[in-house]
């Protein structure tokens, strides 16, 4: 018996679903599922995020408005079904989607996990405007018992948009008709009437938390304000990751340690602890082929935003000033506003930091007394302390989403790590005369 035989009802996913215009979720999921099957590269890219590999010969079928023959008592029915057949192997997933400000209901997902198990379906995928650091750890809590035999994943609509746009920007879609359809899909996702959105505010607990921190209050990681703001920060960090990915046409990622890669919830726990202990929010991004990671820190007590990237200093110079000059050549044409350069020295020597404008006028301002001591690395940082922007939950997000990508464009993409020069061929005459060994 095939999985289709277990369906009592199921409409093939359509590019132009004949649904009432008020049914935004149904229309959006039908169009998404159609494109997953119709555009090979999109299906490969999105399913690849959950470790499902599909080749050219794989067949992806998708259905909406499904109901199963068993169990008949199940009143709630998922929004869609994906079936991937590769040779004799079949993989399948139920889809549950929300749009606008509607959030995924964990209780409903639990019902679908049971429904999937009863019908030998491999996974449940939720889709909404909520963000997950990685698909394996959705932004809601589910009993681990229910995911022992059925996998659970989450995609945000913005994540789907990002994968689609990167495919187009990098000209990765071979078939021209499929490319045209994908462009129209992107246009659909970006239109405000669709109900697809990112994070646009830091939530109702943001302003009260800043008030506590500014007044010098000591906070616990279990404080309600801390937990809510930390959760919102994790969501915003992912949204920002996708924004930079779309602007660079490259998949960047939030840096996590080994334990956090196994369980992304630990990333949020660490965020809570840092926020309660230091009044600081922090995220670091890995950018392929960049000189270093892009770091972002918000000090809520000072109401100050810091964005920076580091770069290894050259080791083939005789004087520290020459190292600074090497860096300044990379930063040529950078905006000087709120930009600082920091030199990190070997041993226990304190770092030296100066405004970029001063370093530009005199590269020697960063040096130590002994100019022959070379810096180990440099950090180029933008500091933004527009305190009024911190007060509003929306104005802060707007500041963040403008400042970080602009810093990378102004500074980060220009930086290049130092590499030792390639070895050179020795002069044969010098070797014979014993000048060089």
Report which DSSP code applies to 292: S
Tell me the β-bridge partners of 151: 123
pTM metric for this prediction: 0.91
**Domain 206-414 class, CATH top level:** alpha beta
Distance CA 411, CA 414 (A): 6
Cα angle for residues 42, 89, 80 (degrees, 5° grid): 50
Q: Which residues contact 309 (CB under 8 A, 6 or more apart)?
A: 290, 291, 292, 293, 294, 295, 379, 380, 408, 411, 412, 415
Q: Which residues contact 407 (CB under 8 A, 6 or more apart)?
A: 294, 307, 382
Q: Where are the domains of the chain?
A: 4-194, 206-414
Q: What is the pLDDT along the chain (437 residues), one digit of tens a residue?
A: 788 888 888 899 999 987 777 788 889 999 999 999 999 999 999 999 999 999 888 999 999 989 988 776 666 789 999 999 988 899 999 999 999 999 999 999 999 999 999 999 999 999 999 999 999 999 999 988 999 999 999 999 999 999 999 999 999 999 999 999 999 999 999 998 899 999 999 999 999 999 999 898 889 988 999 999 999 999 999 999 999 999 999 999 999 999 988 887 899 999 999 999 999 999 999 999 999 999 999 999 999 999 999 999 999 989 899 999 999 999 999 988 899 999 999 988 999 999 999 999 999 999 888 888 999 999 999 999 888 888 889 999 999 999 999 999 999 999 998 888 888 887 766 656 665 55
> Residues 223, 273: contact at Cβ < 8 Å?
no
Nearest residue to 110 (alpha-carbon basis) of 76, 156, 136, 67 = 76
Cis before 71? omega within 30? yes
Sort 397 into a burial class: Cβ within 10 Å, 0-12 / 13-18 / 19+. buried
């Amino acid at each position: 018996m095939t999985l289709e035989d277990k369906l009592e009802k199921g409409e093939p996913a359509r590019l132009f679903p004949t649904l009432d215009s008020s049914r935004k979720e149904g229309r959006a999921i039908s169009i998404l599922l159609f494109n997953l099957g119709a555009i090979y590269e999109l299906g490969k890219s999105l399913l690849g995020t959950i470790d499902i590999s599909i080749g050219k010969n794989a067949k992806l079928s998708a259905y909406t408005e499904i109901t199963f023959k068993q169990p008949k008592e199940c009143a709630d029915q998922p929004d869609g079904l994906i079936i991937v057949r590769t040779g004799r192997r079949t993989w399948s997933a139920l889809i549950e989607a929300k749009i606008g400000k509607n959030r995924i209901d964990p209780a409903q997902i639990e019902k679908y996990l049971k429904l999937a198990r009863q019908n030998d379906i491999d996974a449940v995928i939720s889709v909404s405007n909520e963000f997950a650091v990685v698909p394996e750890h959705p932004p809601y809590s589910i009993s681990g018992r229910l995911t022992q035999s059925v996998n659970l994943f989450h995609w945000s609509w913005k994540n789907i948009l990002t994968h689609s746009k990167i495919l187009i920007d990098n000209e990765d879609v071979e078939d021209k008709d499929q490319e045209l359809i994908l462009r129209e899909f992107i246009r659909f996702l970006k239109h405000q009437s669709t109900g697809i959105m990112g994070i646009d505010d830091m939530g109702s607990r943001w302003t009260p938390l800043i008030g506590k921190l500014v007044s010098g209050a000591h906070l616990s990681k279990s404080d309600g304000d801390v937990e809510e703001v930390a959760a919102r920060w994790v969501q915003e960090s992912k949204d920002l990751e996708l924004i930079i990915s779309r602007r660079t046409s490259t998949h960047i990622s939030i840096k996590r340690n080994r334990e956090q890669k196994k369980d992304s919830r630990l990333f949020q726990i660490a965020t809570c602890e840092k926020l309660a202990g230091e009044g600081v929010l922090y995220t670091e991004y890995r950018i392929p082929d960049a000189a270093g990671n892009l770091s972002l820190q918000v000090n809520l007590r000072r109401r100050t935003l810091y964005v920076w990237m580091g770069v290894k200093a050259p080791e083939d110079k005789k004087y520290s000033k020459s190292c600074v000059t090497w860096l300044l050549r990379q930063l040529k044409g950078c905006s000087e506003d709120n930009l600082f350069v920091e030199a990190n020295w070997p041993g226990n020597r304190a770092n030296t930091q100066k405004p970029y404008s001063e370093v530009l006028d005199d590269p020697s301002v960063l040096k130590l007394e002994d100019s022959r001591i070379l810096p180990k690395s440099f950090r180029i940082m933008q500091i933004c302390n527009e305190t009024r922007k911190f007060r509003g939950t929306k104005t802060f997000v707007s500041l963040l989403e403008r400042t970080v990508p602009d810093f990378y464009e102004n500074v980060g993409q220009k930086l290049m790590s130092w590499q030792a020069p390639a070895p050179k061929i020795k002069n044969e005459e010098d070797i014979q005369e014993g000048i060089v060994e």
